[in-house]
């Protein structure tokens, strides 16, 4: 791979994806921008080409549609200039589980889970063979907090975290860096698209602040980056408690506390 690999960013027309595009372009990386809104991507690409001189390809794709998803996956498999995948495309879903339609939930899962897996799976073998590359998966703190009440959305983001940790375990020894980024509420268009009531929105982080913090974690090669978490020791304690349970999972008999 070249010293500065190309970066493929999904959900690149606005919000987090657009800021990632700006930041990587200003670092000198060529880009492949993927989203449904090609006009907004073309406008962003024109600006970044003029200001940074990098090469930018725009790919119009709806990652919930198999032909589009397959095309992007094919690009990741075949284009060995791409050395960084930013799995950012995602959606939210407002309301309570019992009130949400099955179709809406399945569409959410298709974008937040299935597309993330498909694209990571497309690029992982090539990265592992090359002994380099990076996969960044955008999750959410909601994936750690069922108390927030966003059940299906939170479940998709819990999946993204686990997937990232599992990929890091498998691919890290082969030279591939995998990062899970867990934003809190961020000022993006996801709120409008999910049908959220603006009057009930929580305090929101600015997108630029979120991405800049995530890139600090990227440069440090953190496996999990949680930009709003002030005390990193809390995450370390969480991880420590989880890992302390692992030996007990090998038991072949129920714990004494379950015996009558």
Catalytic residues: 153
Within a 10 A sphere around the Cβ of 252, how many other Cβ atoms? 4
Is the separation of the CB atoms in 76 and 85 below 8 Å?
A: yes
CA 138 from centroid of its chain's CA atoms: 2
Q: In what order do the strands lie in the sheet with 82-87?
A: 56-60, 31-35, 6-10, 82-87, 134-138, 177-181, 224-225
Q: How far apart are CA 153 and CA 202, in angstroms?
A: 16
Please say whether the dihedral angle defined by the alpha carbons of residues 193, 155, 128 and 210, taken in this order, is positive or negative.
positive
Name the residue among 37, 70, 52 with its Cα closest to residue 7: 52
Cα 214 to its chain centre, rounded Å, is: 11
Query: What is the separation, in whole angstroms, between the first and last Cα of the chain?
Result: 61
């Amino acid at each position: 791979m070249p010293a500065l690999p190309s970066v493929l960013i999904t959900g690149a027309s606005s919000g987090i994806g657009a800021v990632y595009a700006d930041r990587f372009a200003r670092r000198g990386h060529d880009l492949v921008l993927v989203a449904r809104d090609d006009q907004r991507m073309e406008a962003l690409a024109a600006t970044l080409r003029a200001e940074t001189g990098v090469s930018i390809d725009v790919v119009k794709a709806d990652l919930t549609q198999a032909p589009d998803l397959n095309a992007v996956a094919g690009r990741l498999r075949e284009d060995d200039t791409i050395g960084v995948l930013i799995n950012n495309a995602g959606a939210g879903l407002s309301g309570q589980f019992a009130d949400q339609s099955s179709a809406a939930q399945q569409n959410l899962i298709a974008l937040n889970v299935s597309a993330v897996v498909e694209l990571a799976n497309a690029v992982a073998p090539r990265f592992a063979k090359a002994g380099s590359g990076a996969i960044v998966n955008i999750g959410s703190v909601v994936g750690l907090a069922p108390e927030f009440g966003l059940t299906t959305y939170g479940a998709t983001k819990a999946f993204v975290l686990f997937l990232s940790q599992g990929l890091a375990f498998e691919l890290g020894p082969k030279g591939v860096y995998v990062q899970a980024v867990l934003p809190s509420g961020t000022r993006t268009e996801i709120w409008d698209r999910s049908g959220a009531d603006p009057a009930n929105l929580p305090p929101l982080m600015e997108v630029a602040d979120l991405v800049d913090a995530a890139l600090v974690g990227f440069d440090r090669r953190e496996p999990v980056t949680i930009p709003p978490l002030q005390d990193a020791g809390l995450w370390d304690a969480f991880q420590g408690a989880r890992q302390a349970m692992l030996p007990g999972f090998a038991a072949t008999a129920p714990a004494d506390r379950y015996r009558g």
